[in-house]
Each structure stands twice: as structure tokens, then as C-alpha cells.
């Protein structure tokens, strides 16, 4: 084909089936949006209801060094797939960036609270979609978002835990938004690392049983003993207890729940992140006979686990995505910097990121 024929080709006439296949393989959601903007034919071949699967970006958290972004009302993201930083302006004047809920990992929308601590708003930085939920019964002074899936906003499966009531890593009341009644279901008590799976709310902590609640009735359904490694003898071994740190996460991965235990040592004020070890257990869940237990697993196949400050999620790896399968990508809770743990090799690497502090954000439409 000559250069003149190439210039005269009408790219809007590409078959819809081919355009759909191309759109499903785009590594970045922003490229999917640009593809849809070319013409009406391309837009109809790449519906918003069927975007390509995305892997998460790193979301910049506001610090003293990044305060100019806050003043200019903009948010920055970093893509490991492309190695590029994306800056998105906040033109919605109703959003007060000082009320951004900075706890947890995010999917599609960024959460904000009003000054009463009862009304939550959600904003999609890509589509500019914005909505608010009914007020909660009580003031949630320091809300933390529980991961409820890759598309919680469309199903309105939104759970908050109040971090203002922390007592020795415990967290206060949790609240589930029920779209059927357009109300919040709230449960008082103390809760730990949490996840949501099949209408059930799971809460766990190091050394402690995992509690399983019916998310709507708040009934306690199960208490599952922790893995044997978390017994006091196995946990601390012969080392100095003051030098050891452990943290248990609950992660939904390919239809099962994993208990991911992070172990690393502390020497004075220096944390040896590079010496971290992770132990992974799968929940063998029996709903009827109360014989549920944690079973050790040595690898996670083609899955990738992402851990934030208090919770995490899992996704299937994609070729040339910038992420490696069978690995755990985690945020160091003291520095808010990203690292990667290779499960089979038991090694830790620093993940490149231009931000001083960050967390995970899964872009969505």
C-alpha cells in the first residue's frame, strides 16, 4: 500500500469486531477513553460497559512535598505499565480535597467525607462522575474503605470501618451501604483487617480467630482459628519479641479467601523491608459444619496480590503489563512506598514510583 493510499484510508470503517478486540487489549484505561473519542463507529464498538481489564495505578498521597497538587486541585497517578505519570484536575468545586478518605485501596472512584463525618461522596477522576450516599447514623471521624471488589460502585457494595476507635490495632464500627434499602447497615464493635465476600464480612488479626458476619443481619456466623504459624511459639521463635512485626491481611483471590501474613524484623528505628517474608493460607470454608480452616499454599499461580495499609486485593496477571505474576505488591505502612515480593524466590524489590507516598488505585469507568 502506497503512502497516499495509507493517508486516504478511512479508519472509521474498521470492522466492529476488530475494534472490540483491539479495545480489550489496551493496557491503559485512558487509551480506551481516547479510542472511544475518535468517532461514533469506534465509540459504539467499545462500549463503556465493557472496558478492558485494568491493573492498578499508584495514587499519590498528599504530603508536604506534593502540597502544590492539593492547592492546584489536581491528583496524580503513576502507571507501572507505561511508566508515565497522569495528572488529572479536579474541576468539581463541591469536592473538598481536605476531606479525602486516605485509608484503604480504591476501585474506580475516590471517596470524600463532608465535615459532619456522616455523608460520603464518590468521584471518578476519569469520567468526572460524582454522587453522594445517604448519611450514616453516627459520625465516622476516620473512615477506612474495605475492598469489596473491582466494581463496587455499580453494585453500591461499599463498606467503611471507623479507624478513630483504634485500640491496639483494633478498629471500630463498620458500616455497609445496602442499595436495596438505600440505607447503611451499621455494626458496633472492634474490627481488624477486613474483607467482603459473598454478602459476608470477614475480620481478622494476628493470633486471633477470623470472625465471619452476615453483612446485612450482622449475625456472627463463624469463628475460624488462625493458622498454626500464628501460635505464640511458632510466631516469635527464639528471637526478641520486640524486634518482630507481623500483619495478617484478608484477600479475595479467584473466588477464595487468602490470609496473607507479612513478617519482617525491626532493629531500632530501621525496618528491614528487604528481609520481609510472606506466608499465604487459603481458607477452606465450610458453611454448615463449622470445620473451616486455613491451608498453607506455596504459590498463587498467575495471580498478583496487592496490599495497602490495611487491606488488599488480587488480580490475574496480563502479558507486558509491568507486573509479574506470582508476586505480592505491597505498600510499606510506615513510609507509604511500594515494594514487590517474589513468592517463589522469597525476595523483595523496590517498585519504581515518582511519588513520596502512595497507595493503590484501580481505574474504572
| Residue 301 lies inside a defined structural domain of this protein | no
Structural domain boundaries enclosing 40: 1-52
| Residue 27 lies inside a defined structural domain of this protein | yes
172: confidence class by pLDDT, cuts 50, 70, 90: low
The pLDDT of 99-114, averaged and rounded, is 82
Whole-angstrom distance, CA of residue 47 vs CA of residue 26: 14
- Region of 5 on the Ramachandran plot (φ > 0 left; ψ -120 to 50 alpha; else beta): alpha
Whole-angstrom distance, CA of residue 29 vs CA of residue 193: 30
| Residue 60 lies inside a defined structural domain of this protein | no
Bridge partner list, 230 = none
3-state helix, strand, coil in the chain (%, to 5): 15, 40, 45
Amino acid 166: pLDDT: 45
| Residue 141 lies inside a defined structural domain of this protein | no
The pLDDT of 90-111, averaged and rounded, is 79
The DSSP string of 238-253 is TS-GGGEEEEEEEEEE
Of the candidate ranges 112-126, 165-179, 276-290, the one whose mean pLDDT is the lowest:
165-179
Q: Is 93 exposed, middle or buried (0-12, 13-18, 19+ CB in 10 A)?
A: exposed
155: confidence class by pLDDT, cuts 50, 70, 90: low
Distances (CA, A) of 363 to 42, 58, 289: 21, 10, 40
| Residue 36 lies inside a defined structural domain of this protein | yes
6: confidence class by pLDDT, cuts 50, 70, 90: low
Amino acid 174: pLDDT: 81
Nine-digit cell string for 208: 486471633
pLDDT for 238 beyond 80: no
- The number of folded domains in the chain is 1
| Residue 203 lies inside a defined structural domain of this protein | no
The pLDDT of 154-171, averaged and rounded, is 61
| Residue 29 lies inside a defined structural domain of this protein | yes
| Residue 61 lies inside a defined structural domain of this protein | no
Beta strands in 155-192 (DSSP E): 158-162, 174-178, 183-187
Amino acid 295: pLDDT: 92
Report the mean per-residue pLDDT for the chain. 79
The pLDDT of 43-54, averaged and rounded, is 72
312-316, strands of its sheet edge to edge: 312-316, 303-307, 327-331, 338-342, 347-350
The pLDDT of 51-75, averaged and rounded, is 71
Amino acid at each position: 500500500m502506497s503512502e497516499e493510499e495509507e493517508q486516504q484510508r478511512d479508519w472509521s470503517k474498521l470492522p466492529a469486531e476488530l475494534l472490540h478486540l483491539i479495545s480489550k487489549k489496551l493496557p491503559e484505561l485512558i487509551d480506551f477513553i481516547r479510542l472511544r473519542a475518535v468517532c461514533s463507529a469506534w465509540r459504539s464498538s467499545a462500549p463503556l460497559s465493557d472496558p478492558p481489564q485494568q491493573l492498578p495505578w499508584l495514587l499519590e498521597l498528599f504530603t508536604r512535598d506534593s502540597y502544590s497538587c492539593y492547592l492546584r486541585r489536581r491528583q496524580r497517578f503513576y502507571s507501572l505499565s507505561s511508566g508515565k505519570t497522569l495528572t488529572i484536575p479536579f474541576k468539581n468545586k463541591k469536592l473538598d480535597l481536605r476531606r479525602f478518605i486516605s485509608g484503604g485501596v480504591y476501585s474506580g472512584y475516590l471517596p470524600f467525607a463532608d465535615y459532619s463525618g456522616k455523608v460520603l461522596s464518590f468521584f471518578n477522576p476519569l469520567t468526572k462522575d460524582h454522587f453522594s450516599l445517604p448519611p450514616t447514623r453516627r459520625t465516622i471521624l476516620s473512615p477506612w474503605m474495605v475492598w469489596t471488589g473491582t466494581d463496587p460502585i455499580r453494585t453500591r457494595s461499599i463498606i467503611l470501618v471507623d479507624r478513630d476507635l483504634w485500640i491496639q490495632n483494633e478498629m471500630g464500627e463498620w458500616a455497609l451501604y445496602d442499595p436495596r434499602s438505600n440505607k447503611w447497615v451499621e455494626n458496633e464493635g472492634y474490627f481488624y483487617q477486613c474483607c467482603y465476600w459473598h454478602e459476608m464480612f470477614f475480620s481478622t488479626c494476628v493470633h486471633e480467630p477470623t470472625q465471619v458476619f452476615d453483612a446485612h443481619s450482622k449475625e456472627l456466623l463463624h469463628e475460624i482459628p488462625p493458622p498454626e504459624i500464628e501460635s505464640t511459639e511458632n510466631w516469635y521463635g527464639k528471637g526478641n519479641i520486640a524486634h518482630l512485626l507481623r500483619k495478617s491481611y484478608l484477600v479475595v483471590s479467584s473466588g477464595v479467601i487468602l490470609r496473607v501474613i507479612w513478617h519482617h524484623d525491626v532493629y531500632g528505628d530501621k525496618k528491614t523491608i528487604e528481609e520481609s517474608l510472606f506466608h499465604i493460607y487459603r481458607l477452606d470454608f465450610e458453611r454448615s459444619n463449622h470445620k473451616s480452616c486455613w491451608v498453607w499454599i506455596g504459590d498463587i499461580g498467575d495471580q498478583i496480590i496487592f496490599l495497602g495499609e490495611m487491606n488488599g486485593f488480587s488480580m490475574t496477571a496480563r502479558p507486558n503489563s509491568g507486573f509479574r505474576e506470582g508476586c505480592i505488591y505491597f505498600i510499606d505502612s510506615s513510609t507509604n512506598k511500594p515494594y514487590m515480593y517474589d513468592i517463589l524466590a522469597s525476595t523483595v524489590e523496590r517498585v519504581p514510583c515518582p511519588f513520596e507516598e502512595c497507595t493503590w488505585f484501580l481505574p474504572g469507568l
